[in-house]
Amino acid sequence: MIKTSRHTYGSAFPWLPVFFLTAIFFLNFLIRIIISPLMPTILEDMGLTPDQAGSFFLVSASGYCVALLCSGFVSSRFWHVKTIGFSAIATGLMMVLTGLTHNLILMRCTVFAAGMAAGLYLPSGIAILTTTVAEKSWGKAMGIHELAPNVSFLLAPVLCEALLLWMSWRQVLFCVGAASILMGLSFLRFSGIRDFAGKAPNFKSFAPLAATPSFWCMMLLFSLGVSGTLGIYAMLPLFLVNEHGMAQAQANTLITLSRVATLPMPLVIGWVADRFGLKAVLATALAVNGILVSGIGVSNGFLLQVWVFCQPVVAVCFFPPAFAALSHIGSKEMRSVAVSFTIPAAFLLGGGVVPGLIGILGDRGWFSAGFMAAGGLILLGAVVPFFLSFHDKGDGIRF
């Protein structure tokens, strides 16, 4: 029997649950990227090297990947609402512990644990969102919910610079962690969302996908797409400060301004994909993004700032057509399985391995080469969309 809360929602749009879920998702994403704008300060304070800095993103992405794959086991036992509340509280607690840690190994452990705790949220969050909101309002609810990561990218540098005027980077982590803990507790107490159990993943269903070449193509494409967004974002502040001598405040301000123009792009690129087809738009987005990332690696001065400003605007154009393409890989029954395996791998490779490798090259004096190599890989990936084969082609979508 499904356990229901004392609150019910009529035909009106359930603003309170959507607000709670969006706020938790915002903090969930903010915690995973907050180290990036703080990194120059952290390196100076702890005496770390660029490759050690890059390792934080690798261990965080590793924890996130593991938790995403196993989240169904947790939600099937503790139900979705409790899983979401636990994720927010545990993620915040691990961030507070990260701020208390002075040892590199222990700090990596707490960052890994924060990534694991954060990874529990998304499957349960989407499940709760789509059951709490009427189907006719899914588009509105998902649009609000998906603002969270873009707003996190936008506000993280500004928030860090503002708080650093009054406190240390450790206290910044305390504040963000405390906010997540408070939001998790408030969600459990006040959201009034109807709870139900999740479903444990069936890894046997992966076998049909593993025999589909287009699935592996999509996994590669998503890894490149995440590399061009989260992977580049993770190391960009450190690159601008250490390699080009920018003040940290100037670097974070530039990165913030570059994210403002990304907010309307998903809507624009959705129309473009309908007009010109998924494969063409995916290839173009990757090609231009690869060129811009490489340009960041080879440019200086004003031209560098132009590339930094333009690159995220193009990078976010990848995801709307990519998710549309992923939904047409295999049968309808396989779509959720494809997402369940593609997204964790993409975050591990694009959001963990790529910044880790850039950090290793930076430690050896080849910071610019790291960005050039990442850009080159993304550019080469522009040929991959043309090898995709879609399962259902009779629904009027241009491929």
Mean pLDDT of 287-316: 92
- The CA distance from 150 to 258, in Å, is 11
- Please report how many Cα atoms fall inside a 13 Å half-sphere around the Cα of residue 13, on the Cβ side: 11
Domain ranges of the chain: 13-190, 202-399
- The CA distance from 144 to 124, in Å, is 17
Pick the closest to residue 53 from 357, 256, 312 (CA basis): 357
Mean pLDDT of 111-140: 84
pTM: 0.82
pLDDT score of 13 more than 50: yes
How confident is residue 191, by pLDDT bands cut at 50, 70 and 90?
confident
pLDDT score of 363 more than 60: yes
- Please report how many Cα atoms fall inside a 13 Å half-sphere around the Cα of residue 399, on the Cβ side: 17
Q: Are 235 and 56 in contact (CB under 8 A)?
A: no
Q: Which fold has domain 13-190?
A: Growth Hormone; Chain: A; (1.20.1250)
pLDDT score of 4 more than 70: no
Same fold, 13-190 and 202-399: yes
- Residue 206 is predicted with a pLDDT of 73
200-219 per-position pLDDT tens digit: 766 676 777 788 888 899 99
The dotted CATH code for 202-399 is 1.20.1250.20
Q: Which of 47-61, 69-83, 286-300, 320-334 has the highest mean pLDDT?
A: 286-300
- Residue 145 is predicted with a pLDDT of 81
pLDDT score of 136 more than 80: no
Q: Where are the alpha helices (DSSP H) in 197-329?
A: 206-210, 213-226, 232-244, 248-260, 265-276, 278-298, 301-315, 319-326
- Residue 399 is predicted with a pLDDT of 54
How confident is residue 391, by pLDDT bands cut at 50, 70 and 90?
low
What percent of the chain has pLDDT above 90?
Answer: 41
Pick the closest to residue 356 from 147, 57, 155, 40 (CA basis): 57
Mean pLDDT of 5-29: 75
59-114 per-position pLDDT tens digit: 999 999 898 888 888 888 888 899 999 999 999 999 999 999 999 999 999 999 99
- Residue 5 is predicted with a pLDDT of 42
Mean pLDDT of 356-365: 89
DSSP 3-state of 47: coil
